[in-house]
């Protein structure tokens, strides 16, 4: 492994998102209308266009990314996912005990589905005429997606940050571009630190909310108590869920941002080039909250601008720190690749996500 940065002075290439809310609005609303008219079938093509717009609007070092998936394959993927869901629902409806079998099958099925989707999207993403790829085995996927989270859960979340690290390692370290690997590496304690901060802030907000909540309950009990309500506990349940869920929603964007900063900034490509993500978790939280507020006020029509605003900020804080001139590096190293693109169509991989 060569020492990064010794051969040549590092050159900074900032990422940039050039998409606009108004252009994406047209894409979003027209595709939504077509999805409705076709009873959901067009949603597969809508997804392709959306993803292509976001990839194609993301620029770094003078080139944009691109997305090449075909709507048909996404449609097939969704049909399979829907069939599985139907099979699950129907079989458990008639034989509730069959659930156990499904959970066992799910432990195998889930990693396969995840692998397949990530691989599909990686292979359909290009930059400078070259494709990305994802090379994880199903066993690796099983460890990262089923086993580690499970261990994280049964150890009362003590292992959860470690499981999160395993998941990030799985996702990033199996991605390749032009046959060369990305590799992220960071000390586990930093992931623990992020979750510790999250837990602290969550506890604080929860305490404040519970305090307010009890005060509100006391007032409500005097004035509310609707006459013979239809399942009043439902209302009580909502309040309780909201109390515990709201702080979680509030801190989720910040936690997610800190994790992205950590994993991206620890990422090396081809042992030479680094990524650097310097998003401000509070700023992201502010953007997300104001986005939600504006979406509500505009009955949802602000959504395209919301998505673009977030992408702009995220990309503006992402930098490629290349050792030397990235252009000559790419031209030399990635000249004449074996035709990875050729076999893409023949491999069984679909996107099962939304």
Partner 1 sequence: MIVGRYFFANSARFVPARASVDDKRILKITGEDGGSLAEAPLRQVKITPRLADLPRKLMLPDGACFETLDNDGVDELIGIARHLVSGGWMDRLERSWRAIVVSIILASAAVGAFVVWGIPALAFQLAMKTPDWMAAAVSDQTMTVLDSHYIQATEISEADQAKAMRIFEQVAKTGACAPHVCRLLFRSRLGANAFALPDGRIVMTDAMWQMAKPEELAGVFAHEMAHVRLAHGLQRVYEASLVPALIVVVTGDISQIGQMAVILPGVLVQSAYSREFETEADRSALTTLRKLGINPAVMAGLLERMDRERCGDRPCGGSWLGDHPDTAFRAALYRSGR
Q: Contact, 263 vs 168, CB < 8 A?
A: yes
Q: Is residue 340 at the binding interface for partner 1, with CB under 8 A as the rule?
A: yes
Q: Is residue 247 at the binding interface for partner 1, with CB under 8 A as the rule?
A: no
CB of 346 to partner 1, least distance (A): 16
Which whole-number Å values give the CA distances from 234 to 132, 217, 225, 230, 241, in the listed order?
48, 15, 13, 9, 10
Can you spell out the DSSP letters for 196-265? HHHHHHHHHHHHHHHHHHHHHHHHHHHH---TT-SSHHHHHHHHHHHHHHHHHHHHHHHHHHHHHHHHHH
Work out which of 4, 80, 84, 130 binds partner 1, going by CB under 8 A.
130
Q: Contact, 299 vs 333, CB < 8 A?
A: no
Which whole-number Å values give the CA distances from 161 to 15, 144, 187, 262, 300, in the listed order?
28, 12, 11, 13, 34
* Residue whose Cβ sits closest to Zn ion: 230
**Interface segment toward partner 1; rule CB under 8 A; list 180-188, 223-231, 275-283, 313-321:** 223-231
Per-residue mark of binding to partner 1, 149-188 (x: CB under 8 A): -----------------------------x----------
Q: Which does 161 bind (CB under 5 to 8 A by kind): Zn ion, partner 1, none?
A: none
- Point out which residues pair with 323 in neighbouring strands: 10
CB of 238 to Zn ion, least distance (A): 17
- Residues forming contacts to Zn ion in the complex (CB under 5 A) are 230
- Point out which residues pair with 267 in neighbouring strands: 184
Cα–Cα dist 40/49, whole Å: 15
Cα–Cα dist 43/188, whole Å: 40
Work out which of 172, 279, 288, 321 binds partner 1, going by CB under 8 A.
288
Sites for partner 1 among residues 37-76 (CB under 8 A): 37, 40, 43, 45-47, 49-50, 52-53, 56-57, 64, 66, 68
Total residues found in the chain within this entry:
354
Q: Which does 128 bind (CB under 5 to 8 A by kind): partner 1, Zn ion, none?
A: partner 1
Per-residue mark of binding to partner 1, 99-128 (x: CB under 8 A): ----------------------------xx
Q: Is residue 252 at the binding interface for partner 1, with CB under 8 A as the rule?
A: yes
Work out which of 7, 72, 331, 345 binds partner 1, going by CB under 8 A.
331
Q: Is residue 129 at the binding interface for partner 1, with CB under 8 A as the rule?
A: yes
Angle of helix 71-94 versus helix 99-123 axis, rounded to 10: 170
Q: Which lies closer to Zn ion via its Cβ, residue 230 or residue 328?
A: 230
């Amino acid at each position: 492994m060569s020492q990064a940065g010794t051969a040549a002075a590092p050159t900074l290439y900032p990422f940039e998102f050039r998409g606009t809310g108004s252009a994406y609005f047209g894409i979003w609303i027209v595709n939504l209308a077509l999805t409705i008219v076709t009873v959901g079938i067009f949603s597969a093509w809508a997804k392709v266009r959306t993803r292509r717009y976001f990839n194609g609007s993301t620029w770094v070092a003078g080139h944009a990314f691109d997305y090449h998936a075909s709507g048909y394959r996404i449609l097939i993927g969704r049909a399979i996912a829907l069939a599985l869901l139907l099979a699950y629902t129907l079989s458990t409806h008639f034989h509730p005990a069959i659930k156990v079998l499904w959970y066992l099958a799910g432990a195998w099925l889930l990693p396969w589905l995840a692998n397949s989707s990530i691989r599909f999207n990686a292979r359909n993403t290009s930059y400078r005429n070259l494709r990305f790829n994802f090379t994880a085995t199903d066993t690796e996927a099983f460890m990262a997606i089923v086993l580690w989270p499970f261990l994280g859960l049964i150890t009362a979340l003590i292992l959860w940050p470690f499981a999160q690290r395993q998941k990030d390692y799985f996702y990033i370290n199996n991605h390749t571009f032009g046959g060369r690997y990305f590799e992220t590496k960071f000390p586990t304690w930093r992931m623990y630190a992020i979750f510790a901060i999250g837990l602290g802030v969550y506890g604080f907000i929860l305490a404040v909310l519970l305090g307010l909540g009890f005060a509100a309950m006391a007032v409500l009990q005097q004035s509310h108590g609707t006459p013979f309500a239809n399942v009043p506990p439902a209302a009580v349940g909502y309040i309780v869920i909201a109390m515990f869920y709201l702080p979680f929603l509030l801190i989720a964007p910040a936690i997610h941002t800190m994790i992205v900063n950590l994993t991206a900034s620890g990422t090396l490509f081809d042992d030479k080039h680094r990524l650097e993500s310097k998003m401000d978790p509070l700023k992201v939280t502010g953007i997300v909250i104001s986005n939600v507020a504006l979406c509500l006020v505009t009955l949802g029509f602000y959504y395209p601008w919301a998505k673009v605003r977030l992408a702009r900020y995220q990309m503006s804080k992402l930098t490629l720190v290349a050792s030397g001139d990235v252009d000559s590096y790419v031209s030399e190293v990635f000249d004449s690749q074996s035709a990875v693109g050729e076999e893409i169509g023949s491999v069984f991989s679909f996107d099962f996500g939304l």
